[in-house]
Structure 1
Amino acid sequence: MKNLPIVDKNSKYVVSAAEMKRCDKTTISHFGIPQDVLMERAALSICKYVKRALPPSGKVLILAGSGNNGGDGIAAARILVQEGITVTLMLVNHSLHEKGAGSKRTSACNTQLKIALSYGVNVIDFNTATLNTEIKKSNVIVDAMLGIGCTRNLEGDYLSAVCEINYAREDFDEKAPYVIAADIPTGINADTGQVQGQAICADETVTFGFLKMGCAFYPGASHSGIIHIVNIGITEAGFLDEAPEFKYIDIDDNNDFAKKLLPPRNPAGNKGSFGKVLVVAGSKKISGACIMAAESCLRSGAGMVKIFTEKTNLAAIQTLLPEAMTDIYSDEAFESKFEAELTEYSEMLSKSLEWCDAIVCGPGIGKGSAGKSLLETILKNGKKPLILDADALNIIAEDEKIRKLTCEYNGEVIMTPHLAEFSRLIGKNIHDCRICLIQEAIKLAKEFHASIICKDARSIITDGERNFINISGNDGMATAGSGDVLAGLLGALVVSGFSCELEAAVVGAFLHGVAGDMAAVKNGRQGMTARDISGSLRDIFSGKMM
């Protein structure tokens, strides 16, 4: 497996419930850290953020389930009481009178409850009416009901508690109590981020050890609020020789993205040594795609960019992007099959394929005869790193011959489907895709021997062996041309000195999201455009971060 020195240095694990439980267990059994110590440190972390949110003389309501997540909450209640804070601890799905073998509580949770009672913590059993009363008296609510243990739709006391908290907060408006979730909001599936019927809407989530998949993916991410990843003594060592399946880029210093994530540039380099990128994009009806992809490529460090496009786009390119070179063709020649012209265009494209160091193909080329012919020529004759986007992906999904050529391409490939394009490539509807996104992305990467960026609110990047989630970006990026900007960015990155195309793909997806976040600050999410994202790329690479 190829090493990814830049990405590996700047990334962290995001874990499933099973991976977290395994690491937790190993920390206790292999390294010998007692569970009570881990629970105490988790509780202290919860208390830290409770005290930050709590106004003077404020009151805290903690809802604790019967598992170890509940034990964290019970321990937090006791610590807060010891510091003179007024706390009500409500037991959910278990009760004070439970004892011995008949109790639903885990051993650690039961121990914490005994300690809390001995310190005089106000502990009450769950009751809907009582909960409503307590909510009205509380400034901060701590959700320590289920943690990563939610795998099916909520029912019983858990469902009632979640609904009452969410409904009450809506009624309170600006005076609503502040909600902090312990590890992950109750009702969120820790592996998928899906809401299991109902889920707590938290203002903050204090998660232990590692980011959970359920907090990374939507809708779980939107239920988690501000996420704090805290160290309670469970570290990467706990995975032993079996590392988690997914990672994500994480950089603390926002002003250091380019320095940390990009290969160093040669101070004695020239436009040729910084990479020549061929952008095969645009058609008679679509001119913006080729301009946005090429502009992004130039802003992202490529030394030279040539656009291969339909002749009607030439005037716009010369006006808006005079830095780009051009080769042009005529749609009519492909539609009417003028052999002499088609031969000329094929030879022109073949020469450009020899000239370039990387190829971007697909934005705006259409699915007609011209788009298919250009893509086929590239797949048969190209040997350079190839970024396939937009219409190129739709052609591949519809044409078995071209799909086979893509699998056999004699060079590295990055494919960048959004969810609709992804669904066409795997032959499933979009709804079904969301359920099996990870598995199908890995499968697709293996089929095409490619790096896949499945673009969504949380993009998945994989080469079939190494897997990443991108957590940068925002909903303002759901705008026409955003994908063209990413394609151009990737074209520049694959010629900039990364260890392999997967590393360029991971960094590209992240920086594209960061540029989108910067554009949202400048222009607002609702009003931002793809070219705003491209403009922010210039700021990233120049170090002018906000």
Structure 2
Amino acid sequence: METVRAAERALMARLPEGALMQRAAAGLAAACAELLGRVYGSRVVLLVGSGDNGGDALYAGARLARRGAGVTAVLLSPERAHAGGLAALRRAGGAVAADAAAAAEELIERADLVVDGIVGIGGRGGLRPEAAALAEAAGPSRAAVVAVDLPSGVEADTGEVRGAAVRADLTVTFGAYKPGLLVDPAREYAGVVRLVDIGLEPPGEGELEALQHADVARLLPVPGAESDKYRRGVVGIAAGSARYPGAAVLAVSGALRGGAGAVRYVGPAGDAVIARFPETLVSDRGPAKAGRVQAWVTGPGAGEDAATVAEVLGTDVPVLVDADGLRLAERDAVRGRTAPTLMTPHAGEAAALLGVRREEVEGRRLAAARELAAVYRATVLLKGSTTLVADAGGGAARVNATGTSWLATAGSGDVLSGLAGSLLAAGLRALDAGSTAAYLHGLAGRFAAQGAPAGAHDVSERIPEAWRDVRC
């Protein structure tokens, strides 16, 4: 976030006073008008705090008032409201609620649109009581709620929500995406996010990155004319058990579609694997005697097989650890590895590894992913509705939102592990393998579900479609 603040300061120094706010207000007013459909005669309520977000809301309200909307501002701190924005609203025919505390609830109840300009990106710790009451009133109303830059009450830097916050239908953000708009739980409060270009210089490396199709397309391994199955990479899958043979099958299914040239399977589910995927190289002699691989996946459906997990962690190739492997792996064995390690926990598994409650991880997902990466000296892919990938060495974490809630199904994570492991074997570094796999897996989940339930095998079968979609 500091890169965004610095870019804003640099741009304001070059522009006439107030020009940046006018650009933001113009984009905000246009988005509000589009959401309303018909501006003339509509009723708009502005929830105005003392900062620049309040100024943006007031100037945007003035623009809507000039187009015939009935605009009323509710000022939380009348003596500190943006003077220029307030004057502009009044000149345009807008009104200011005489008794904000008494009138706000009734105004919101009758409104067609509520604009949240209470707190900006500097807000911390949830909303104060008077602002919280406005957020609560806006929530169940029939009005559409538009947040200015980000919903008031959420943490811009981390995506945490530490108290009352506004739930928006649309967030109009300026210049660059803020982490709080991309990371749960704050992302749930943002609704649809619309980015308005206000002329900021592209920021350098920030705290969070979100890959797009073009980024993923550049990372995907593509065989050359001289490639063979070994040059493309071989991924080993040490997974499954007598109790959970399906985990092995699903991990292999993801691996076969992940770009490596061959998949070796080691474990007790060999018959089930070979029956479904005869192209798999199956062995029951353990990882050390399975043959050469460029990366290993261990843990899915492993049960209590700590010995195999430890053997895989002792190799000198990249290793992905998932599911039971996260519980069975010794911390020092992971920390002491010289080859890359990619850990893929969900929130419950991450909480167990950090020794905290699941709710704590879910409430501070970005911080939890970074902490886990630092503690284990590994790359961590924290699964969820927005997947986060953090490196042990710090730097920008990556967030992925291509998924769908239908991916919350048994075996989906096993497919993701195989896919990411295959990308590791094909030569991608752990951060790239994890974030690329999450991107493809999310797209495949959307293609498989299309608004209806889908199983993990359905997701796996749609990975090639997701791959083609990215490369088109």
Do both share a fold (TM > 0.5)?
A: yes
Which has the higher Rg, Structure 1 or Structure 2?
1
CA 1:156–1:283: 2 relative to 1, 3 Å:
closer
Displacement of 1:117: 2.5
Task: Report the alpha carbon displacement of residue 490 of structure 1 after superposing the two structures with TM.
Answer: 0.9
Matched, 1:73 2:57: yes
Is the CA contact (8 Å cut-off) linking 1:74 and 1:89 kept in structure 2?
no
Q: Which residue of 2 aligns with 1:151?
A: 124
CA contact (8 A) 2:174 2:198 kept: yes
The Cα RMSD (Å) is 2.5
In the alignment, structure 1 residue 285 sits paired with structure 2 residue 239: no
2:472 is equivalent to residue 534 of structure 1: no
Q: Secondary structure at the match of 2:153?
A: coil
> Does 2:271 align with 1:326?
no
The answer to which structure has the higher helix fraction is 1
Q: State the Cα distance separating 1:147 from its structure 2 match.
A: 2.7
Unaligned runs of 5+ in 2: none
- What corresponds to 1:399 in structure 2? none
1:511 and 2:440 equivalent?
yes
Q: CA deviation at 1:413?
A: 1.4
User: Any idea what SS the aligned residue of 1:148 has?
Assistant: coil
Native 8 Å contact 1:69 1:146 kept in 2: yes
* Contact 2:154/2:162 (<8 A) preserved: yes
* Shift in Å, 1:39: 0.5
- The offset of 1:494, in angstroms, is 1.4
CA contact (8 A) 2:421 2:433 kept: no
Hey, what's the Cα distance between the residues in 1 that align with 2:262 and 2:68?
A: 64
Q: Does 1:180 align with 2:156?
A: no
Q: Could you tell me how far 1:245 is from its partner in structure 2?
A: 1.9
1:498-525: CA deviation from partner (whole Å, max 9, x where unpaired):
3x2222222122222222222231x62x
CA change 1:246–1:120 in 2 (3 A) is same
The answer (yes or no) to whether the contact 1:63–1:142 under 8 Å persists in 2 is: yes
Answer yes or no: is the 8 Å Cα contact 1:92–1:157 preserved in 2.
no
Q: Distance in 2 between matches of 1:89 and 1:510?
A: 43
In structure 2, relative to structure 1, the CA distance for the partners of 1:137 and 1:391 (3 Å cut) is closer
Q: What is the TM-score of this pair, normalised by structure 2? A: 0.91
1:45 to 27, 42, 46: 27
Displacement after TM superposition at 1:447 (Å) = 4.1
Which amino acid is 1:85 matched to?
Answer: G
**Are 1:142 and 1:180, in contact at CA under 8 Å, matched by a contact in 2?**
yes
**Alpha-carbon separation, structure 2, partners of 1:104 and 1:79:** 21
Q: Which residue does the alignment assign to 2:9? A: 25
Aligned residue among 81, 97, 103 for 1:124? 97
Mind listing any 5+ residue stretches in structure 1 that lack a counterpart?
1-14, 96-102, 170-175, 329-344, 397-401
Q: Secondary structure at the match of 2:20?
A: helix
Q: Distance in 1 between matches of 2:218 and 2:180?
A: 28
Matches of residues 28-427 of structure 1 in structure 2 within 5 Å? 28-29=12-13, 32-56=14-38, 57-59=40-42, 60-82=44-66, 84-95=67-78, 103-105=79-81, 109-167=82-140, 169=141, 176-236=142-202, 243-251=205-213, 259-310=217-268, 313-328=269-284, 345=285, 348-352=286-290, 354-367=291-304, 371-380=305-314, 382-396=315-329, 402-427=330-355
3-state SS of 2:37 partner: coil
Alpha-carbon distance in 2 for matches of 1:186, 1:104:
17
Q: Contact conserved, 2:221 with 2:259, CA < 8 A, in 1?
A: no
With the length of structure 1 as denominator, give the TM-score of the two structures.
0.80
What secondary structure sits across from 2:267 in the alignment?
Answer: strand
Amino acid at match of 2:208: F
After TM superposition, give the deviation of residue 282 of structure 1 in Å. 0.5
Aligned-residue offset at 1:298: 0.5
Is it true that 1:493 corresponds to 2:418 in the alignment? no
Letter in 2 for 1:25: R
CA distance in 2, matches of 1:80, 1:528: 44
Q: Is the 8 A contact 1:258 1:540 kept in 2?
A: no
After superposition, the C-alpha distances for 1:329-363 in whole angstroms (9 at most, x for unaligned) are xxxxxxxxxxxxxxxx4xx53132x5112111111
**2:372 aligned counterpart, secondary structure:** helix
Cα offsets for 1:284-312 (capped at 9, x unmatched): 111011100001111222221111111xx
Question: 1:261-280, CA deviations, whole angstroms, 9 ceiling, x for partnerless residues?
Answer: 41333144222222211100
Q: Structure 1's 198 and 273: CA in aligned 2 closer, same or farther, altered over 3 A?
A: same
One-letter code aligned to 2:445: G
Question: How many residue pairs were aligned?
Answer: 468
